Every structure is written in C-alpha cells, then in structure tokens.
Structure 1
C-alpha cells in the first residue's frame, strides 16, 4: 500500500508541548513518534470508508450490468482483467448452451447473497484498513508559533513550550514530506456505485490507495484550528509495535528556536534555559508575551 508523498516547501514547522515534555525532548534531543491509537482523537486514522450505496443497490445494478455483458448485442471486451470480468466473458461465450432463465436465476441468487453479505464485507474492509494505517508512527506539527488555542490546549495553558523546527533539505529529513491535514465534515467515500461495478467487471481501473491514504491525513472540521501537518511512517511487516511509540534521535540543527509560554513560571524557566543552552547551544530562545494592545502574542529573545 505504498503511496508517494509530495515534498512540501515550508521552511519551518512548530510543535507545542508541556514544559515537562519539552525537558525530555531537550535532554534527549529526541522526538516521540506515536501510533494513531494513542491520539486524543479516536476517529483519527480509524474512520474507515463511507459507502455511498447499499448492498441492495449494488446487487440490483450489478445484476443488470452482468446481464447486459452476457446477453448484450455489443461484445463484452473489458480492457482490464478481473476475476468477475473473466467469469462474465466465459459465461457469455457459453450463454447458448443452456436455458437463459436458469442463468438469470443464478445471477439473481448471487445478487441476493451479495446484498446480504455487503455490510459484513464493508466492516471487514474498514477493519483491515484501520489495522494497516494504525500500524505506524506519526509525528504531528503545525504551521504557526502564535496559535492561541494550540498554546492553551497543548502547551499547558501557555505555561509550556513551542519548538520551531527548520527545514533540513540536505539531510532529506522526514519533515520535508510532511503533508497538510484536510479538515472536513464529510467522511472519506468509497467508490461510487457505477465506478465500483466498472472496477469489478474490468471496464475501468480505480486506485483505492490514494483514498486509503486520505484517511491518514483527514480530520473532522472541528480540529481545523490546529492547522496541522503530519508525517506518517508505516511499520515494517513483522515488527513488534511495542508500546505504540518510538523515541527518535534528531540532529541538533533541526531545533531552530524554542518559545517559552507567556505563563511559564520563573522556576521552570530557570530549569529549561540552561538545559537548552547546554544541549542545543545554537538554538534561539524566546519568551512569549501578551501584546500590550489587542489579543495576541509577541516574542522577545531571552538574554
């Protein structure tokens, strides 16, 4: 289920954390990549496809298309080989060797079985997709250092930290293929009914892989404020997922700047600043401050 990701052109990404987490990151120079199963959003990577048709509609339309393929005046010559299409070709070639009504009855019986099994097949497909997508490690970043909701929700109500990561093109760093999250009220849809039948019969090819990957980069519109980008890395087959996270060492030049929250107390600041200077000496340090006029933040260098 490989999918080639495009490279982004952003020069910076940001990550909001608590002061405690920041201390661990600074001390180890490592970032935690997590399984989606550990995310605070239980629908992230786990929504599955929405199916825009019922089993009954599939059975009815597939039966009509199959009868047309077998008994129609035009030759049935699908450009792509599929099991169902090959079966239709073989049936068409032998259509005059038995009563037509028997063949129609068999197709209708098969249609009823499809209609009955369809909900189970949909659930099975979504379960398999979720298992595949969540067998991974994901790191989430955002576009801005001054997102007030992100400071409130992820940086300990402005008592935490925001990291600024620089683009490391020369190292081909994973952040260069971070992809923006799409926010929508609409679920990711499976193929439409006609497209799916064309795929079954070999009349057209419809690649489901991009739709599956869309599930890994989509969240409900309620999360839009995060302005999130993320990197998704699938675990190799057979690798033990362990506790659901990996702590990966990063090059020191990735850490371009660190912003301390406007509510960070003096004691925490006194612990973090020397740690930053010792472990990440080339990283700039800023203190967030509330603007004197209006609502927003400004950042002053820490001397």
Structure 2
C-alpha cells in the first residue's frame, strides 16, 4: 500500500530536503475533539462497578463465579480479603461499599479525559495519510487550496517507532466501546484491553470528518512522570505531570527512495514546478511528477 500526504508546497520541499516527515501531537490538529472520546459513559461505569463489586462479594463468600481468579488485578484480591474480613466480623454491608466506591469515582468520564489531556496527549505522535490523491476536500483543506502538493510514499519511516499502532480511522457520532468496563475492573489494563482503548480514543473521529478517509499511525514519546493523588477523606483528586517534552512534534526519518511521486495542485504555476524539479535534482531524488487540472467540471491528474 502506498500513502498520500497532502501538504503545502514549502512543506513538500522541507520533506525532500530533510528526508523526514512530521508526526504531531493531537494538540496541533484542527479537530478540537481529537482524543476526547472516552471508552465508557458514567452509566456504563456505574453498572460495571456494581457488577464488579457483586462478583468480588460472591468470590469472598466462596461462591462459584466464572472469572479467572489468578488473573484478577492486585486491588481485586485486596478487596476480596477486606470483604472476607468484614463478613467474619459481621460488619459487611454491600450497599455501603458500592455507594462508597461510586462516590470516589463520581465523574469517570471527566477523570479519564483529564488523564488523556494532561498525561498523554502531549506525547502522542500521530501521522495522518490517505489512500487517494484526488480528494477535492483534502486538496482544499490540506493541499493549500491547490497551491500545494500531494506526496506519494511507499513507506513512512526508516526505523519502526516503538509501540507503533496503525490503522484506518473509525468515523461515528457516538462511540460504542470495544472494551468491556467490567473486564477493566477485574483484570486491569491488560495489553489486549489497552489496544482496544487506543483504538477507541486515538482512531475515532466524528462522522463529519469521514471525507478524509484517513489512515493513521501513532506512537508515543516518553511519558515522563504521571502522578495521581486521591485524598479519601476529602475525595479531592489531583493529577500532575513532569519530565515530558515541550515539543509537540517529532520529525521521523524517511528514505529518499520512499518518495514515489509528487502531484501539484491546479494552482501551482509552471515556475513553481520548475523550482521543485531543481530542488529534487539537488537532493538526488528521482520520482514521478503529476499535476491536477480542471477539465471542464472534472478534476484530473496528468503526467509531467
């Protein structure tokens, strides 16, 4: 599969000169809703929490439950031990326990969104490409209104970034999570659950953006130190982040051989095309050149 990147004329020249392509934090994107979907609602969170605590209670009472006890996260084992002790002392009250836990997590959507926005989004690195060179809206929005170019690339990195995730963006109005909140409570954020959560948060956009037909690649720079504190007496919570990069992008090296073609917008002049040809020659890059033209009402691509 080859990839197409819509960009300005000057940015095209920088990619050719530096042999890099910029992967950016979502903070630099034009969609302010980037990464703002959360993988569960308050209602689903409360339902899963209640079911979770009911399961722990049954395990503590010795009832047979269809869960993998050995894979339960450590806090689950701790809660089971506390419930058993309360039952032995005849002080256990399941309703009070459920209410106490739900009060501690009174706004799970906001808490999760804060975690993403404060702790993660700055270090996310995302590259957005597509599979078409003749998308009219993409030319208008990202190809500098046809004063820019589309670069065709056979690959998007020399060395695969650590923890790379990639795939097509899912466009929708309401997120139907791939994860099960109950599994998160029981087993924690396993690699399998984390992959599904990344798919929900990173690879989801509103339907209004579906014209982009985006293929997305994502990895993370160093997360630094993320510290969460919860005062159980006052129920006050705080999340602080330190030792993260201040830079909101990373220029990832590519090979000159990855550049397969450049397509100029309709409004790119012959002088600008000649300028790009000289620039390609100077940087020892041999690729196919095209130009978009308007043939009546049709947008067509011709070879140069």
Tell me which interval the TM-score lies in, with the shorter structure as reference length: 0.7 to 0.9
Alpha-carbon distance between aligned partners in 1 of 2:216 and 2:63, rounded to the nearest angstrom:
52
Change (3 A) 1:206 1:178: closer
Match of 1:82 in 2: 73
Change (3 A) 1:86 1:247: closer
Change (3 A) 1:156 1:114: same
For these two proteins, the number of residue pairs brought into alignment is 281
Gaps of 5+ in 1: 1-9
More strand by share: 2
Name which of 70, 78, 92 aligns with 1:103.
92
Q: Is the 8 A contact 2:147 2:266 kept in 1?
A: yes
Q: CA RMSD in A?
A: 3.4
Deviations 1:254-281 (A, max 9, x none): 1111111112133433322322232243
Question: Are 2:293 and 1:289 equivalent residues in the alignment?
Answer: yes
Q: Is the 8 A contact 2:6 2:151 kept in 1?
A: yes
Cα distance, 1:65 vs structure 2: 3.8
Change (3 A) 1:196 1:254: closer
Alpha-carbon distance between aligned partners in 2 of 1:77 and 1:13, rounded to the nearest angstrom:
43
Alpha-carbon distance between aligned partners in 2 of 1:227 and 1:72, rounded to the nearest angstrom:
52
Change (3 A) 1:81 1:180: closer
Match of 1:163 in 2: 151
Alpha-carbon distance between aligned partners in 2 of 1:278 and 1:149, rounded to the nearest angstrom:
32
Alpha-carbon distance between aligned partners in 2 of 1:197 and 1:173, rounded to the nearest angstrom:
33
Name which of 200, 206, 220 aligns with 1:234.
220
Name which of 71, 95, 104 aligns with 1:117.
104
Cα distance, 1:89 vs structure 2: 4.5
Which of 1 and 2 has greater Rg? Answer: 1
Name which of 135, 146, 153 aligns with 2:141.
153
Match of 1:212 in 2: 197
Change (3 A) 1:44 1:52: same
Cα distance, 1:93 vs structure 2: 5.4
Gaps of 5+ in 2: 225-242
Which stretch shows the higher mean deviation, 279-288 or 186-195?
Answer: 186-195
Name which of 187, 196, 207 aligns with 1:221.
207
Question: Are 2:42 and 1:49 equivalent residues in the alignment?
Answer: no
Alpha-carbon distance between aligned partners in 2 of 1:211 and 1:268, rounded to the nearest angstrom:
45
Alpha-carbon distance between aligned partners in 1 of 2:8 and 2:35, rounded to the nearest angstrom:
24
Match of 2:23 in 1: 33
Name which of 122, 127, 149 aligns with 2:114.
127
**TM-score normalised by L of structure 2:** 0.76
Alpha-carbon distance between aligned partners in 2 of 1:194 and 1:242, rounded to the nearest angstrom:
36
Cα distance, 1:40 vs structure 2: 0.8
Report SS of the residue matched to 1:289.
strand
Report SS of the residue matched to 2:95.
helix
